[in-house]
Amino acid sequence: MKAIVTGGAGFIGSHLVEELVKRGFEVHVLDNLIAGRLENVHPSAIIHVEDIRGTKAKQIINQEKPDIVFHLAAQADVGKSISEPNYDASVNINGTINILEACHEARVKRIIFASTSAVYGDLETDLLSETDLTVPISYYGLSKLTAESYIRLFSHLYKLPFTILRYGNVYGPRQLPKGEGGVIAVFLNRIKRNEMLLIHGDGEQTRDFIYVKDIVLANIAAIKSGDRQTFNISTSRTTSINQLIGFLNKIHGSPIGYVFVDGKKGDIKHSCLNNQSALQSLEWHPTFDILQGLEETYAYVWQRDKS
């Protein structure tokens, strides 16, 4: 089978590319390298340095006629979406429309879309399900929710098969140390440089952290299951920022300095996703707990800087 991964040189995308190659897929990567890196891309994959909003990206999909398109390329920084909403919408909405048009023209068998828990906003719900209200409090969450709506309407109008995966807070090797979504990468980067950790708010905000390898396996499961469905991809377990620092202290082996600062605009207080639908329909389940994932990520960060 042939697959195209948009954003395949990035954090999550590059791990997905590796797994697809391992499983015998012919893999093409579409990435403009703004956040992605060439060294992340598996040598067996074919890289196309293009923007998902461009005509060339559309042409490549039409030319290659992949069986599956994994659409991961996005503007994923919540803070940037607040400061630059036009850019956020251009990438996440217009870029998705461009990819959808190409998928329709190329008769792609399925598009698998990387969405986010940010679509729910700051609902006062202990465990968020796919049927809960979607009330984003950032332009990032709004643009991803809008992209979801375009995908569903394209499917209705043109019979394009799709699966939407709403990720929890993904972490792991290769994540860039920036943005709220990359808080673990940010913390590890600061620990490595012996800098104080900045805790926005009181540190009691919680997240449903999920390891990147588990996200990859959910994408693989979606190739054959979950057509025209939307799934939360998560652990259904919460970890507060204060608890996270405790785990990192344990792994690091010595006390980590931190300071409390003001909260961020658009920051969600609590977020935990109900993954039961994915467990049942995708026959997928997360295999890494938070400590295991942090240990692998910590080891990667320290080894990377030695190489």
Q: Is 258 a catalytic residue?
A: no
**2 strand-pairing partners:** 26
Q: Which of 166, 146, 161, 59 is nearest to 96 (CA)?
A: 146
Q: Please state whether beta strands 68-71 and 197-200 pair in parallel, antiparallel, or not at all (unpaired).
A: unpaired
Residue 103: exposure state from Cβ atoms within 10 A (0-12, 13-18, ≥19):
buried
Residue 295 near residue 251 (C-beta atoms within 8 A): yes
**C-alpha Rg value of the chain to the nearest Å:** 19
**Catalytic hit among 140, 167, 171, 258:** 140
Three-state SS for 109? coil
Helix axes of 95-105 and 55-64: crossing angle, nearest 10 degrees: 30
Region class of 107: left (phi > 0), else alpha (psi between -120 and 50), else beta: left
Q: Which of 35, 158, 163, 149 is nearest to 96 (CA)?
A: 149
CA–CA separation, 59 and 6 (whole Å): 14
Those residues with Cβ within 8 angstroms of residue 256's Cβ, 6 or more apart along the chain or in another chain: 191, 197, 245, 248, 249
Active-site annotation, residues: 140
